[in-house]
């Protein structure tokens, strides 16, 4: 069965099924016989009792700033930072030992050249400890020395890069072997024994160079 909306209503005259009328006017709307009539090919029949159609759902009230949120906004969980890969290179440690070793050998050679003894002596005594101290400080920073996870048995932090830097400058002959032994605690190879031999060679070369300079009358 089809129904027709007559003229005079808010809908243009056309044919509808009962379901279409309910959808357009709402389930709770009452339509009188003057508004809606069934269409029949043979005769015009009144609709009969009023058609009950449900009203459309009310529009949601606009959300204002004063109205609280009924649910918390979805937030993405924080992304954990990837752990840093441990530093395993032996390059800096080897270079820190190779520099005083080469300097010691060079100073033994310089004893045969009197005119350059003072210049080389000053260069080796200042440059070798300074460069080695920088290498030790850089390596200690790369392995995490003095960080929040580098703790002593009593819970205190160990020495950090700054302490290693100034310690190596002021007490180079002591700090270099200590660091070479300490490297083992950070997953690196321990060159403690080698470092002691290198320090002895370096200090011996300085002593020989000074004695040679005094014999030559360069130093008094």
pTM of the predicted structure, to 2 decimals: 0.60
For 117-162, write each residue's pLDDT tens digit.
Answer: 677 778 888 999 999 999 999 999 999 999 888 888 888 999 999 9
98 and 27 in one domain?
A: no
118 and 39 in one domain?
A: no
Contact between residue 92 and residue 139 where contact means Cβ atoms under 8 Å apart: yes
Residue 195: is its pLDDT beyond 60?
A: yes
50: confidence class by pLDDT, cuts 50, 70, 90:
very low
43 and 101 in one domain?
A: no
Which residues sit opposite 17 in a β-bridge?
A: 2
Q: What distance lies between CA 77 and its chain's CA centroid? A: 16
184: confidence class by pLDDT, cuts 50, 70, 90:
very high
Answer whether residue 79 is part of any domain: no
Residue 107: is its pLDDT beyond 80?
A: yes
> Quick one: pLDDT at residue 153?
87
> Quick one: pLDDT at residue 8?
44
For 78-106, write each residue's pLDDT tens digit.
Answer: 665 555 678 889 999 999 999 999 998 88
> Quick one: pLDDT at residue 212?
78
Residue 49: is its pLDDT beyond 60?
A: no
Residue 182: is its pLDDT beyond 70?
A: yes
Residue 63: is its pLDDT beyond 50?
A: yes
> Quick one: pLDDT at residue 2?
47
Q: What are phi and psi of 151, to 5 degrees?
A: -120, 150
**CB neighbourhood size of 164 (10 A):** 26
Structural domain span for residue 43: 2-50
209 and 130 in one domain?
A: yes
Answer whether residue 196 is part of any domain: yes
102 and 9 in one domain?
A: no
DSSP class of residue 3 equals E
Answer whether residue 64 is part of any domain: no
**CB neighbourhood size of 135 (10 A):** 23
116 and 200 in one domain?
A: yes
**Which DSSP helix (H) or strand (E) runs through 16?**
strand 15-17
> Quick one: pLDDT at residue 43?
39
For 2-15, write each residue's pLDDT tens digit.
Answer: 445 544 444 444 55
């Amino acid at each position: 069965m089809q129904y027709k909306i007559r003229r005079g209503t808010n809908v243009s005259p056309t044919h509808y099924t009962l379901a279409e009328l309910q959808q357009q006017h709402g389930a709770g709307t009452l339509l009188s016989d003057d508004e809606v009539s069934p269409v029949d090919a043979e005769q015009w029949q009144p609709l009969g009792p009023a058609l009950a159609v449900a009203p459309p759902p009310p529009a949601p009230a606009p959300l204002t700033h004063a109205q609280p949120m009924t649910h918390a906004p979805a937030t993405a969980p924080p992304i954990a930072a990837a752990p840093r890969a441990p530093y395993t290179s032996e390059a800096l440690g080897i270079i820190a030992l190779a520099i005083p070793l080469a300097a010691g050998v060079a100073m033994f050679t310089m004893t045969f050249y009197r005119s350059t003894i003072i210049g080389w002596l000053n260069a080796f005594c200042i440059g070798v400890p300074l460069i080695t101290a920088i290498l030790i400080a850089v390596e200690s920073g790369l392995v995490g020395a003095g960080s929040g996870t580098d703790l002593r048995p009593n819970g205190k932090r160990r020495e950090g890069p700054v302490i290693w830097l100034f310690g190596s400058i002021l007490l180079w002959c002591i700090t270099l072997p200590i660091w070479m032994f300490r490297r083992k605690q950070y997953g690196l190879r321990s060159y403690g024994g080698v470092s002691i031999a290198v320090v002895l060679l370096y200090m011996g070369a300085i002593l020989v160079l000074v004695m040679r300079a005094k014999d030559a009358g360069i130093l008094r």
